[in-house]
């Protein structure tokens, strides 16, 4: 962690130099009032104080106070401003990392945990760069200034006066050792709490439907109580040692005054010097107490640094990105292709063989869990490439830059993600500079026109969390319009029409095929009518292709496809 902080200080060396210089001035001007008191007391006891001398002293004190304020303003402002920049820097680094990562990375962290790393951990580190550095610079500076001055007055009295405070600081350090574990536990408890909140919010409908509100509330209460326990334990430790500084100050006072009187009688120090020594010790209590606070800031910073580092260092296990920028999809070819998820004990795809050329529509059907989504994830390059042959336009898929490949594919996933924006904005995400006509064309293709007419503000209606709630089927069609508008070379619909009726589904698929002449489509579906007009259909079972052909050929084979087709017809899903 120190390397990170030092690198940051080095990167902003001029700001920190200004902070250091103003801090030195600040520390120096803090010492002045005590020296003035020392001289005044001595002048009064020697009866040498004149009116002019008093006025000059007051003037000097005012000047010192103004300089003290000015320097404090500058170093406070710069130090804490810089810590805010540090926070944004860290968050941006983490954010860039997040957007660059593929699915396997996200499977390694829970959402709440990731949010905690992003917010709480970054703030703890910011504390280290702000408050932590302030302690080192201010407290360190004060101690470095005051102790030599004290020793110059009388090393014997200074030594006696310092002993209790130094012992106390060492004791505090020893006492606070167990705090490291407590801070780790408190940090993990925050993460647990965030997970709980996110999962509760995401699943609120289910929680309500199953009347599990009380259950959920009590789980939440348990987690907050666990977090409160951790912080209470830390507070107890602090409460234990912080008041001890007052006791130690009392002890130092006794030692300084006792030995001061002794050395005064011996003529080695003046009354003014004894008073000054006492005031110096008082001024040292705060910096030493801050040093013990540094232990807390350091421990929390260290814990949070570890968590952030883990986030930044964790990869998505994907192979190095390819160099070739691909700009069209001529053909996609898989031969004897196998794929397994890293945590899975068995393969999700086995011996896959397929060939898709531009302009074709490929249907993928099969039982639930048979590997349909896993197969299209290969085209999206969400996971490391499996074993076997996987080429695009005759070259291995890994030769192409993932970003350029991604730009050619329009993907409509099973879970439809819409944003709390207008219908227009949600669709235009698929093509930033889309014209009005293009948006309306996409809406017509996705058979969403009638629904739009029923919405209060039409295409300007805000949907999602802070807007109008829309049905699953409407979400699906907005998602299709969004993918369609980008005119991708390959459009993938992953069970994206499950919530619309069979007639609308057929209409959308006909629209897509008519509008996308010369471009490819992959349609994953449970309803076989959706692939009636596909050029080729694959039937998957347990990760293998068990049947394939045109829809007519598949019916003629009288296998799973045929049986399923008959059943769905009988159930009246076909008109």
Interface with ligand ATP by CB under 6 A: which residues?
107, 341, 343-344, 348, 366, 368-374, 495
Contacts of range 540-543, beta carbons closer than 8 Å, 24 or more positions apart: 540/364, 540/365, 540/366, 540/367, 540/370, 540/371, 540/372, 540/375, 541/366, 541/367, 541/370, 542/350, 542/370, 542/371, 543/347, 543/348, 543/349, 543/350, 543/370, 543/371, 543/374
Closest CB to ligand ATP among residues 374, 520: 374
Closest CB to ligand ATP among residues 194, 374: 374
Closest CB to ligand ATP among residues 52, 346: 346
Strands 520-524 and 536-541: unpaired
Residue with tokens 């990760």: 543
How far, in Å, CA of 214 to CA of 206, rounded?
A: 13
Q: Are 397 and 385 in contact (CB under 8 A)?
A: yes
Can you read off the two tokens belonging to residue 520? 């490819």
The nearest distance, CB 202 to ligand ATP, in angstroms, is: 18
How far, in Å, CA of 371 to CA of 336, rounded?
A: 15
Closest CB to ligand ATP among residues 22, 348: 348
Residue with tokens 């109008």: 468
Closest CB to ligand ATP among residues 273, 564: 564
Strands 349-357 and 361-366: unpaired
Closest CB to ligand ATP among residues 348, 476: 348
How far, in Å, CA of 513 to CA of 519, rounded?
A: 9
Closest CB to ligand ATP among residues 319, 460: 319
Closest CB to ligand ATP among residues 123, 542: 542
How is residue 460 annotated by DSSP?
A: G
Helix (H) or strand (E) holding 493: strand 490-494
Q: Are 164 and 252 in contact (CB under 8 A)?
A: yes
How is residue 286 annotated by DSSP?
A: H
The nearest distance, CB 526 to ligand ATP, in angstroms, is: 7
The nearest distance, CB 446 to ligand ATP, in angstroms, is: 21
How far, in Å, CA of 434 to CA of 360, rounded?
A: 26
The nearest distance, CB 332 to ligand ATP, in angstroms, is: 18
The nearest distance, CB 143 to ligand ATP, in angstroms, is: 55
The nearest distance, CB 569 to ligand ATP, in angstroms, is: 20
Task: State residue 490 phi and psi, 5-degree precision.
Answer: -130, 125
The nearest distance, CB 107 to ligand ATP, in angstroms, is: 6
The nearest distance, CB 291 to ligand ATP, in angstroms, is: 49
The nearest distance, CB 531 to ligand ATP, in angstroms, is: 14
The nearest distance, CB 372 to ligand ATP, in angstroms, is: 4
Can you read off the two tokens belonging to residue 482? 């969004």
Q: What is the 3-state secondary structure (H, E, C) of 359-402?
A: CCEEEEEECCCCCHHHHHHHHCCCCCCCEEEEEECCEEHHHECH
Can you read off the two tokens belonging to residue 209? 């439907």
How far, in Å, CA of 159 to CA of 22, rounded?
A: 29
Closest CB to ligand ATP among residues 47, 368: 368
The nearest distance, CB 110 to ligand ATP, in angstroms, is: 14
The nearest distance, CB 109 to ligand ATP, in angstroms, is: 14
Can you read off the two tokens belonging to residue 505? 């589904």
Closest CB to ligand ATP among residues 195, 374: 374
Closest CB to ligand ATP among residues 290, 540: 540
How far, in Å, CA of 163 to CA of 252, rounded?
A: 8
Residue 462: closest CA among 416, 419, 430, 412: 419
Q: What is the 3-state secondary structure (H, E, C) of 158-197?
A: HHHHHHHHHHHHHHHHHHCCCHHHHHHHHHHHHHHHHHHH
How far, in Å, CA of 203 to CA of 206, rounded?
A: 5
Closest CB to ligand ATP among residues 422, 564: 564
Residue 400: closest CA among 386, 390, 412: 390
How far, in Å, CA of 229 to CA of 210, rounded?
A: 31
Where b means 16+ CB within 10 Å and e means fewer, 481-498 reads bbbbbbebbbbbbbbbbb
The nearest distance, CB 348 to ligand ATP, in angstroms, is: 4
In DSSP terms, 490 is beta-bridged to 409, 520
The nearest distance, CB 367 to ligand ATP, in angstroms, is: 7
């Amino acid at each position: 962690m120190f390397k990170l902080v030092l690198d940051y200080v080095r990167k902003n060396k001029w700001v920190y130099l200004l902070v250091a210089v103003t801090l030195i001035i600040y520390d120096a001007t803090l010492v002045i009032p005590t020296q003035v008191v020392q001289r005044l007391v001595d002048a009064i006891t020697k009866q040498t104080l004149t009116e002019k001398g008093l006025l000059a002293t007051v003037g000097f004190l005012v000047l010192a106070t103004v300089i003290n304020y000015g320097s404090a303003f500058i170093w406070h402002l710069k130090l804490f401003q810089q810590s805010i920049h540090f926070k944004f820097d860290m968050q941006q680094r983490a954010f860039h990392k997040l957007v660059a990562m593929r699915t396997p990375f996200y499977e390694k962290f829970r959402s709440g945990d990731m949010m905690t790393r992003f917010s709480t951990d970054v703030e703890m580190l910011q504390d280290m760069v702000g408050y932590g550095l302030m302690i080192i610079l201010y407290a360190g500076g004060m101690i470095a200034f005051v102790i030599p001055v004290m020793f110059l007055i009388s090393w014997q009295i200074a030594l006696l006066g310092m002993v209790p405070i130094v012992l106390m600081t060492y004791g505090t350090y020893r006492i606070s050792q167990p705090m490291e574990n407590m801070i780790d536990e408190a940090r993990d408890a925050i993460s647990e709490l965030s997970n709980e909140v996110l999962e509760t919010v995401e699943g609120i409908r289910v929680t309500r439907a199953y009347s599990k509100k009380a259950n959920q509330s009590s789980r939440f209460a348990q987690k907050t109580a666990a977090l409160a326990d951790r912080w209470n334990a830390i507070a107890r430790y602090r409460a234990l040692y912080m008041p001890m500084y007052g006791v130690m100050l009392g002890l130092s006072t006794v030692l300084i005054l006792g030995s001061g009187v002794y050395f005064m009688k011996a003529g080695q120090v003046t009354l003014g010097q004894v008073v000054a020594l006492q005031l110096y010790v008082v001024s040292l209590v705060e910096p030493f107490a801050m040093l013990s606070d540094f232990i807390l800031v350091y421990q929390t910073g260290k814990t949070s640094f570890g968590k952030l580092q883990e986030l930044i260092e964790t990869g998505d296990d994907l192979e190095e990105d390819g160099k070739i920028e691909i700009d069209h999809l001529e053909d996609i070819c898989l031969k004897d292709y196998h794929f397994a998820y890293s945590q899975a004990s068995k393969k999700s795809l086995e011996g896959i063989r397929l060939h898709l050329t531009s302009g074709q529509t490929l249907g993928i059907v099969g039982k639930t869990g048979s590997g349909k989504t896993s197969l299209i994830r290969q085209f999206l390059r969400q996971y490391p490439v499996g074993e076997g042959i996987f080429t695009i336009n005759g070259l291995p898929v890994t030769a192409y830059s993932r970003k350029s490949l991604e730009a050619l594919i329009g993907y409509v996933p099973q879970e439809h993600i819409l944003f709390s924006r207008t219908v227009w904005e949600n669709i235009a995400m698929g093509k930033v500079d889309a014209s009005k006509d293009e948006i309306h064309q996409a809406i017509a293709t996705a058979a969403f026109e009638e629904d739009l007419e029923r919405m209060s503000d039409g295409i300007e209606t805000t949907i999602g969390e802070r807007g109008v709630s829309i049905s699953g089927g409407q979400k699906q069609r907005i998602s299709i319009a969004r993918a369609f508008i980008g005119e991708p070379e390959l459009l993938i619909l992953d069970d994206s029409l499950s919530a619309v009726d069979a007639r609308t589904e057929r209409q959308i698929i006909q629209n897509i095929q008519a509008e996308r002449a010369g471009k490819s489509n992959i349609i994953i579906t449970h309803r076989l009518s959706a692939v009636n007009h596909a050029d080729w259909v694959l039937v998957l079972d347990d990760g293998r292709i068990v049947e394939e052909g045109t829809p007519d050929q598949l019916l003629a084979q009288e296998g799973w496809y045929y049986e399923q087709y008959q059943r769905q017809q009988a159930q009246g899903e076909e008109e």
